[in-house]
Chain A
Amino acid sequence: MTEPLLQVEDLRVKFSTEDGIVHAVDGISYTVNAGQTLGIVGESGSGKSVSSLTMLGLTRNQGADIEGRIMFQGKDLVTLPDDDLRKIRGNEIAMIFQDPLSSLHPFYKVGVQLTEAVHAHRNVSKSAARDRAVELLDLVGIPDPSRRVDQFPHEFSGGMRQRVMIAMALANEPKLLIADEPTTALDVTVQAQILALLDDLQSRLGMAIIIITHDLGVVAEITDQIAVMYAGRIVERAPTSAIFGSPQHPYTWGLLKSIPRLDSPRGEELVPIAGRPPSLIKRPSGCHFHPRCPYVREEHKRIDPGLEPVPDDPTHSVACLLTAELRQRIWRGLSEGETSATLRHLVVEEEQQPATAHAAPRVAEDDPS
């Protein structure tokens, strides 16, 4: 097996603030192979954006305390000097962002911003850079690119602006493209177009993609692997088919149950995940998810689960204290339309305590938030 394109090992990012230390990313590891697509899924504040901004060194001047390793083509991006990292940024690793409206400079023509990306890493003539800009706009499916190249961002629609952002990211044919919530700010129909475009570009250019999103539905179609993040950690990591086929973590179940589906029975309710994301300054004890977990047990408030492979599948890892057999039974129940309230008795039975009459989703009394 060849060496992976990107290997993140035990990455930790902390910020010191007046209120205390924010543990934005707390020991995450993952790998991305050349040409592969990884989806990183989680709520806002789960550290998914910070981890990728850190990869590009964009959290460095914000007083971030960074530990761990980010190996990219034999170089550790955590310790790489600023100027060497700058040469990778926008060149070998490119990034697009959530809001294409504010991510383009309002005062410069689209063509100027595109050629700037080319000139940042290539010593080419002005006219060559301009030709490249037109070519890039054409590549991302913007009609009439030789005219559009001389327009300002405010003359483009939201979807078209995101295409411009993608064109800019592709300017130097990166080996890895990081897309941070690329479709969140767009209309649903446009979302699908942008995702299809990314998928198409990947098969044509052969780059690896990391898609960061809060919406599992977005990444279902185009990712090979999915990592689910919660409170700065990866709580479940598996091939996409396994995440949808046999999800293991209660948080992943929650995410899956909150996606609207066309084929679900009429009248079936969407189930939001109860509670709020935890504070990253004062995190819950034990399993960080325990205050919101419907299947919590007393000992889960003390024991901090590690990310372990599930018994029958080495490519699938989960950080959960429930036994594999129990998780399987709960997921089967959930997929048959039962709710966490009715399934909680499974946990209680296993705990061999007298079954309490009502086992509604319980919020721990010692919830620090």
Chain B
Amino acid sequence: MGRYIIRRILWGIAMLFIVSAVIFLIFYILPSADPAVLRAGRNAGPAQIAQIRHSLGLDKPVWRQYLDYMQQVFLHFNFGYSYQYNVPVRQLIFSRLPATIWLTVGAVIIWLAVGLSIGIVSAVRRRSILDRTTMTGSLALISAPVFWLGLVSLYLFADDIGVWKIFPGQGAFAAANNPLQKAEAMILPWLVLAAATSAIYARYMRASMIDTMSEDYIRTARAKGLPERTVIRRHAVRSAITPIVTLIGLDVGTLLAGNAILTETVFNIPGVGRLLYNAIGVSDLTVIQGITLFGAFFIVFFNLVVDIAYAYLDPRVRYS
């Protein structure tokens, strides 16, 4: 077990190096704008630009630039400076992370609670009206774009422009002062972000449950004379949830990496996704690079967590 975890950690670190190199190469080969020109401002002459290029190290060979960058990242945890804001990228990301974490954690809790329970009940009561209704509804939610769903929810429920003024609307999170207000401000974003994902999870869980319910060991559990709810909870759900754990890891990782960009934009939440969105708009390369690398870290990290969790869930993994 210990060796398994160490192996996974080493592999994760190797993965991060590979990802960082690929990111660096992509931004070098495909510059949407010359960083030196952007940095120099509107009225700069060629000499000025050349000087900036030299001071940023952009005139060095690409492998040298990569090594310099990686050295800064690993030894000093320094991701460079934002051209736009002229502050360290690290500081920018850290100032935006809390909002994204708030958004992600709440949404994950909601979609797991809603998605998994709907999935389980639909599988157990297969072909019932409940099953058909929830599965049709889930298809509708999966098909609805997040920005549309967000705008509709604001139009219906926001306390400023809503038809029913129930929940805090746009920008409420930035204005909130205490955790309670923050949570309240997050209600609509959480629901909107969780909607499509809980629908997907409901479908996955349903399919996984249906597969599991036809397993021989479920028949054994019934033949033992266990009550049906014990058969479902202890035997079926326990197996059916294992593949879902993989999904959770990936989804949490990508959300923290800025994948909540649409929700953050619609609700005006100052998170990493918004930062990325703005940075792309003005070609702020160091910020984009920094966020991408951070994102890669989160994804690798949560995959590691999933692998370890998997070994605990499935005893067969531990020994192989």
A-to-B contact residues, CB < 8 Å:
56, 58, 86-91, 94-95, 97, 99, 102-107, 116-117, 120-121, 152, 154, 165, 168, 171
Contacts and interface: CB of A to CB of B under 8 A. Distances in A.
A238 to B, nearest CB: 29
Interface in B221-250: 221-227, 234-235, 238-239
Contacts of A58: 219, 222-223
Nearest to B220: A103
Interface stretch (B57-65, B111-119, B310-318): B310-318
Contacts, number: 69
Contacts of A99: 216
Contacts of A105: 217, 220-221, 235, 238-239
Q: At the interface, is chain B mostly helix, strand, loop or mixed?
A: helix
A88 B225 contact: yes
Contacts of B160: none
B215 interface: yes
A246 to B, nearest CB: 37
Interface residues on B, range: 20 to 34
Nearest to B320: A154
Contacts of A152: 315-316
B235 A94 contact: no
Given A88-B225, A89-B224, 8 more contacts: A86-B227, A89-B222, A94-B223, A105-B220, A106-B315, A106-B316, A120-B226, A171-B224
A227 B217 CA distance: 28
A89 B223 contact: yes
B215 A102 contact: yes
B225 A107 contact: no
A86 B225 CA distance: 5
A207 B314 CA distance: 36
B224 A168 contact: yes
Closest 8 CB pairs of A and B: A90-B225, A89-B225, A90-B224, A102-B216, A105-B217, A103-B216, A95-B223, A117-B224
Contact of A107 (B219, B222, B314): B314
Contacts of B221: 105
B219 A121 contact: no
A156 to B, nearest CB: 13
Given A87-B225, A116-B226, A121-B225, A103 B219 contact: yes
